[in-house]
Amino acid sequence: MSAKLHAGPHEGDAMPDIALGTPDGGTVKPSDFHGRKLVLFFYPKDNTPGCTTEAKDFTALKDDFDAAAVALLGVSKDSAKKHQNFIAKHDLATPLATDAQEGGLSDALGIWTEKKMYGRTFMGMVRTTYLVDETGRIARVWNKVKVKGHAEEVLAAAKTL
């Protein structure tokens, strides 16, 4: 079962509709965006170099995503308070959500997984982006994202959807 879970949903599959926490204490689910396109970008940790660059890159293009009728949502396991600090510190315009619960959206997608670094094994988020169409189906998946140029590539793909 865990091997299948790790594979997660694929392009054409429905995005699992699991609630995420918002920095203001509310919740948001993928189905809240039905009727418009959605970019869900999952990243490992607030205020780390790659994650900061990625969030700032999506923020820099937010007006372009808005013009293309594409919603953005950044997701990590960080707490609502950490998200509030991350948003304030870097003046982020991109909404963020927390997927801290066990069995959450990143688990359902198979991107919260065992990682290894410097001989140490730990659970971590695989940097992954999903482009979801207006009906809630996954239109495109970027696995193990390299941050440089990624937000631009996602915007171009979203415009063709």
Under DSSP, is residue 104 helix (H, G, I), strand (E, B) or coil? coil
- Range picked from 4-13, 27-36, 109-118 for highest mean pLDDT: 27-36
Distance from C-alpha of 94 to C-alpha of 61, rounded to nearest angstrom: 9
Write the pLDDT tens digit of every residue in 112-141.
999 888 999 989 999 999 999 999 999 999
Residue 1: per-residue pLDDT:
34
* Residues 46-98 pLDDT 10s: 999 999 999 999 999 999 999 999 999 999 999 999 999 999 999 999 999 99
Would residue 157 show up in a list of annotated catalytic residues for this protein? no
7 confidence band (pLDDT: 50, 70, 90): low
pTM for this prediction: 0.92
Structural domain including 73 reads 2-160
Please tell me which residue, 102 or 4, carries the higher pLDDT value: 102
pLDDT at 19: 97
First to last CA, the chain: 32
Q: What is the DSSP string of 4-57?
A: HHHH---TTSBPP---EE-TTS-EE-GGGGTTSEEEEEE-S-TTSHHHHHHHHH
Amino acid letter at 77? K
Q: Per the residue annotation, which of 51, 71, 105, 109 is the catalytic one?
A: 51
128 closest CA partner among 115, 116, 114, 146: 146
**pLDDT value at residue 5:** 39
**In total, how many domains does the chain have?**
1
Q: What is the CATH number of the domain that holds 88?
A: 3.40.30.10
